[in-house]
Structure 1
């Protein structure tokens, strides 16, 4: 029998990306992260968080590494300690109009505009925003940066809350369970119930169910 596969330990965030900005005199560094880009329904949700620049070790982690209960507890702690934070959503109409990347960028810029005090620099999870602010956009920043991990917690918990509300308003799709992603139960519900108003019509699985538009028909 082969030996059990080794599971690598979870990555612990630190302040490496923030420190690069601190060295240049930018001390209010906002972490930015999103939740829901790959979902077929509901919004994409973006959070921006400025943590106190004290190089403190926080318990914040990438939301994907945590249980729902742990995410809720840590999201409350983010809101308690942050210098400023904001959450914004891009709903399906905006996603269909701008595409998912454009809508994510738009929601991120709205969240950043709401921060008070405002940020002097940014760290994002590979989200290369068009902004005059100094920007670091490394991959996996939600696992590597305290600021981005904090943003991931707010984005994930707020989006999950909204998907519970959408589950009550649109029963039968299972939004509370799969949060709008392409799970088998979601596919089956779409076949049974059709496309709802909170589905992203530009996404290929949804577009196929809707069929060709009048302009596309021969």
Structure 2
């Protein structure tokens, strides 16, 4: 008796099939089986491509380890562009056998994928750290310097010896050797992990702030200048989370002065 489509689906989902069994299933004339095989092979190809991309992104870490560097951290920030909220940096130090193929630049991941990745990083990284610089501090020093400061704080908050730092697109005022990587969150697994830590941490913070300031809808836009956010700003004016040196907030304040 032929195996049921339900059982085939279950085995494919559990990946408990051999290459020979896959070849046999390809000869099955049932349309439902053929759809299952096509879906299985698409997912397998995607997983293979993700694994290959991950290995390419691990090249900087492997090269540094070949030079005798053992404690390698990647750092990135989230929140340079929003009109409200802090800029948050994340730092991550990964084991040499760390493997999470879906890890990517946090901006390219869905919220659910980021959250799952964040949980895996927190459970499996050698160390992680977070640095937060408030809106008030951003106004006092400018966003670029604030992002640099957040990164330094994130590295310091790992409470871990660091031999080398991989930094996304910035040079930091630290004594530890560092490598500045343009689009580092797409080139280094450590920087990408830092970007996930930063993004998830900041999003959760803004979601909590939405309860304190419900009129702005921070949980929907995380402080970015969406149409809804701009309309709320015009209706209610800025709150303490808003960056007063950013337009159009600066202009709104000047108009009311």
CA distance in 1, matches of 2:90, 2:122: 11
Matched with 1:12 is: 53
1:123-145 alpha-carbon deviations (Å, 9 max, x no partner)? 11112112222211111111121
CA distance in 2, matches of 1:24, 1:212: 58
Matched with 1:111 is: 154
Matched with 2:100 is: 58
1:100-152 alpha-carbon deviations (Å, 9 max, x no partner)? 11111112111111223221101111121122222111111111211011111
Matched with 2:131 is: 88
Query: What TM-score do the two structures reach when normalised by structure 2?
Result: 0.75
Relative to 1, partners in 2 of residues 1:140 and 1:197: Cα closer, same or farther, differing over 3 Å? Answer: same
Structure 1 runs (4+) deviating above 6 angstroms are: none
Answer whether contact 1:12 1:61 (CA < 8 A) is retained. Answer: no
Matched with 2:87 is: 44
Superposition CA RMSD, Å: 1.9
Match of 1:186 among 210, 229, 235: 229
Whose radius of gyration is greater, 1 or 2? 2
Answer whether contact 1:112 1:118 (CA < 8 A) is retained. Answer: no
Structure with greater helix share of residues: 2
1:39-86 alpha-carbon deviations (Å, 9 max, x no partner)? 1100100011100123x4423211111111111111000011111101
Task: Give the C-alpha shift of residue 24 in structure 1.
Answer: 2.6
- Count of aligned pairs: 205
Matched with 2:203 is: 160
Match of 1:123 among 166, 171, 191: 166
Matched with 1:141 is: 184
Query: What TM-score do the two structures reach when normalised by structure 1?
Result: 0.88
Q: Structure 2 stretches of 5 or more lacking a match?
A: 1-48
CA distance in 1, matches of 2:218, 2:134: 15
Q: Structure 1 stretches of 5 or more lacking a match?
A: 1-8
Match of 1:74 among 97, 117, 123: 117
